[in-house]
Amino acid sequence: MATTTTTKQQPSGPVLDWAAGHGPVTGALSATTGAFAVATTGATTHMPPGWALAVGAAGALGHTVAGRRARNAGRTLATRAASWLVGAGWTTWAITHGPLTWAALGSLATIGVGIGAAARSTALHEEAREEEAIAAEQRQIAAELSAERRAIAAEWIDRIQRVCSITVRVVGVEKWETGTGYSLDAELPPGGATWNKIAAESARLSADARLPHGCTATASPGIHQGRVIIDVTTVNVLEQERTYPTEYGPLSLHTGIPWGYRTNAEEIRAYLREQCALVVGPTGSGKTNMVHGILAGFSRAEDILTWVIDLNAGSAGLPWVLPALNGEIKTGDGKPVRPGIDWLAGTFEEAVTMLDTAVNVAKQRKMGYQDLLARHNTDLLPISPQVPQIMLVIDEGAEILASPDRQMRKLAEKILEVIRIARAMGIRTVLTALGATGNVLGNLMIRREAKVRVALTGGETEGMDLSKMFPGSRGLRVEQAPYKGSGFMGTPESPAALFKTWRILPNQIRDIIAATSDRHPRLDDLSAKAAGPAYAGRWDTDRTAWMRDHTPNADTIEAGPTEARSGLNLSALRTGQPAEQVSPEEEMLRQFRAQIDAQFATAPDPTTPASDTAPPASGGLNLSALRGEQDSPAQQAALALLLAAGPDGTGASAIARALADEYGTSRQTVVGWLRDWTRQGIAVRVGEGTKARYVHRQHAPEQPPEN
């Protein structure tokens, strides 16, 4: 069966829109040609002339009624009615005397010109009349708004005089489009008055205005030093929980990354091309949620690669990595997605590797992109999807900088090096901290480079020194932001003021990963070469095994917390365990202890009931240090590990890692125990610096006799 193809013919010549309305020319032409056609037909068929006059009278009456309903001007109604009657009169005359005479044709042409001129005149009149009506309506609205603004201005002039003892002149009042408040532009009086004096009285002004809780009247610099802008919030948007916007469109480093919204419901953006950022917030203030919001913005950007350091088991970055690594989500065409962040370090060693890589990339970019810098005539590396910026997000990074721990100090030095050398080459950091204290803000590098600052208060007053966090800002009080996720944010472009971050839900993180997978840039070739195998193998199985080890599966959940526990379980030193539940480490300790018991006469366990058996001879190895000399089970387990280490000894980090799953013991706690045991003679410190180890006294080397 043959198939036929229908080809759509393209029209040739001018296209006439018969549905369009008539203008002055086409309207006159339509009227005259219609009248000529009717007259010719009527003369040929001997039609009664009165019919044409009757039709013209009906047309004039219909247009008059329709025009009155449309509220047309009287001139328009008269012109249209006259056109119908004149046309009908000519048609009646032409049917009687014949339309094909020069007199008939000339008079018809004259009538057409007259109809066109009259239609043009009435159209201009209608346009002018409509514009005047609109202008009058706008003048009425402006008058009403002006009256309201004048009332607001007068009210605040009196209030500022009463509270601040300053007489200002309000030159403008602008109501916010969001309907949550308004801004006043005021001129300060001569004599040296500054906007700071009004800003310092923010709380009193808010109380005097009887603003709702959470609403403020804050002052900021105006167009020059003699002007002040006063933002007055009338609706408390901070108490509302708003989820992260579901429009996951592309962003750019140069257009800013949205981090939340102000009290006027407008979003606030962070510009991080040259600036670092510092986010502080105590437990329960919504800091982790904001970190996820920051990562969401970076993930949406087309010219940003995100590297995350979180030594707390990588918890800040795991939701952005695991769904992709485990193949849980795919793109629309079934392809696997890329992780929402480009690199995640959850261990000290991986963090050191990441920071060393960042330093190498910065140095290589300085050498390799000289031609690019010269072409753009700049000393700042032009950031683009081809040469992306690297954003280092370090959870509780400010605490790392202030930590006295030796390992943390090493990490802090590398963080500061990245901050110091990598600004021009497109590597910036976002640090978080638990509080705005002197320890956190004591580092000059942080104060100088982290100009984008966020203080999430959640109503918490301890450790929230806003004067240190936002020096020079006045009138900021923690109690103004008692809601989770709310606080203060200041940038070089926007002074410190109240804001709130969006609530980002776990399912949104997965949606953002899927929506932005093909948007993430690749590390440029020059930087990738400098990063080397450390970067290329960041997602290797052996380097990401710790991510999956912390992910319980269905069998583990059903087994319960006791059976799901992994790692070294030292409870075998105190209570018996079935052989199938003993880990290799526990079995090694058991065998070691059995060998000692078999070779030496050990002391009895004080928890064992007395028996008729005679006590063994004294002088053997006394393992009661595993029990009686220490009070807590964690200390007993730590001392057992120290003893099991033998003459080689061990360190605080190794003991802390072994005890973390069972007891949650930190390295700092183990350091304190080892220090006490050294003073008590239970342990001996061997070596100095990074090679220092602790050895149990049973395995300690012989000390030379004192002279």
Give the list of residues 6+ apart from residue 50 with CB closer than 8 angstroms, or none: 92
d(CA 216, CA 611): 78
Q: pLDDT band at 4, cuts 50/70/90?
A: very low
First to last CA, the chain: 117
- The mean pLDDT of 276-289, rounded to a whole number, is 90
At how many degrees (to 10) do helices 74-97 and 24-45 cross? Answer: 30
What the block records as the tokens of 153 is 């201005």
pLDDT (average), residues 625-641: 66
d(CA 390, CA 210): 47
Q: What is the pLDDT of residue 668?
A: 74
Alpha helices in 165-177 (DSSP H): none
If you average pLDDT over residues 306-326, what whole number do you get?
Answer: 91
> Taking residues 344-363, what's their average pLDDT?
94
What per-residue confidence (pLDDT) applies to 53? 66
Greater pLDDT, 573 or 139: 139
Separation between Cα atoms, residue 423 and residue 560, nearest integer Å: 49
Q: What angle do CA 285, 286, 291 make, to 5 degrees?
A: 135
Tens-place pLDDT, residues 13-38: 444 444 445 666 666 666 677 666 67
Nearest to 252 by CA among 301, 322, 319: 301
Q: What is the pLDDT of residue 601?
A: 43
Question: Shortest CA distance to 301 belongs to which of 276, 271, 336?
Answer: 271
Above 50 in pLDDT, residue 707?
no
Please give the Cα distance from 288 to 284 (Å, whole number): 9
pLDDT at position 690 is 60
Predicted confidence at residue 28, as pLDDT, reads 64
Q: What is the structure's pLDDT at 353?
A: 95
What is the percentage of the chain residues whose pLDDT exceeds 70?
73
**What's the CA gap between 700 and 687, in Å, rounded?**
12
How does DSSP classify residue 674? Answer: H
Mean pLDDT of 66-79: 68
Q: When comparing pLDDT for 698 and 276, which is higher?
A: 276
Per the listing, tokens 């199938």 go with 580
Choice among 134-138, 161-165, 212-216 with the minimum mean pLDDT: 134-138
**Bridge partners of 257?**
270
Question: Which two three-digit tokens encode residue 238?
Answer: 């901070």
Distance CA 615, CA 592 (A): 22
Is 137's pLDDT higher than 80?
Answer: no
Cα 35 from Cα 139, distance rounded (Å): 46
Contact, 486 vs 500, CB < 8 A? Answer: yes
Q: Which residue has the higher pLDDT, 294 or 696?
A: 294
Residue ranges and CATH numbers for the domains of the chain are 24-136 (no CATH), 165-233 (no CATH), 271-549 (3.40.50.300), 561-605+617-696 (1.10.10)
Give the lowest-confidence range in 116-130, 389-403, 428-442.
Answer: 116-130
Q: How confident is the model at residue 570 (pLDDT cuts 50, 70, 90)?
A: very low
pLDDT range class, residue 370, cuts 50, 70, 90: very high
Burial of 42 (0-12, 13-18, 19+ CB in 10 A): buried
Taken in order 68, 69, 70, 71, the sign of the CA dihedral is positive
Mean pLDDT over the full length of the chain: 78
Select from 70, 67, 41, 69 the least CA-distant residue to 55. Answer: 41
Distance CA 658, CA 623 (A): 21
Pairing of strands 452-456, 427-433: unpaired
- pLDDT of 439 strictly over 50: yes
Half-sphere exposure of 163 (CA within 13 A, CB side): 20
Q: For residue 37, give the 3-state DSSP assignment.
A: helix
Least confident of 277-281, 513-517, 641-645: 641-645
Mean pLDDT of 55-77: 69
CB 120 within 8 A of CB 24: yes
Higher pLDDT residue, 314 or 359? 359
Taking residue 374's Cβ as centre, other Cβ atoms within 10 Å add up to: 9
Helix, strand, coil distribution of the chain in percent, nearest 5: 50, 15, 40
- For residues 39-63, average pLDDT: 69
CB of 362 within 8 A of CB of 389? no
Q: Return left, alpha or beta for 568; rule: phi > 0 is left, psi -120 to 50 is alpha, else beta.
A: beta
DSSP 602: P
CA distance 61 to 67: 10
Q: Determine the Cα–Cα distance for residues 337 and 355; give it in Å rounded to an integer.
A: 26
Is pLDDT at 244 greater than 80 in this prediction?
Answer: yes
pLDDT at 528 over 90: yes
- pLDDT beyond 70 at 631: no
Across 189-224, b (16+ Cβ under 10 Å) vs e yields eeeebebebbbebbeebbebbebeebbbbbbbebee
Strands 267-270 and 389-394: unpaired
Q: How many CA atoms lie within 13 A of 86 on its CB side?
A: 19
pLDDT in tens, 481-495: 888 899 999 998 888
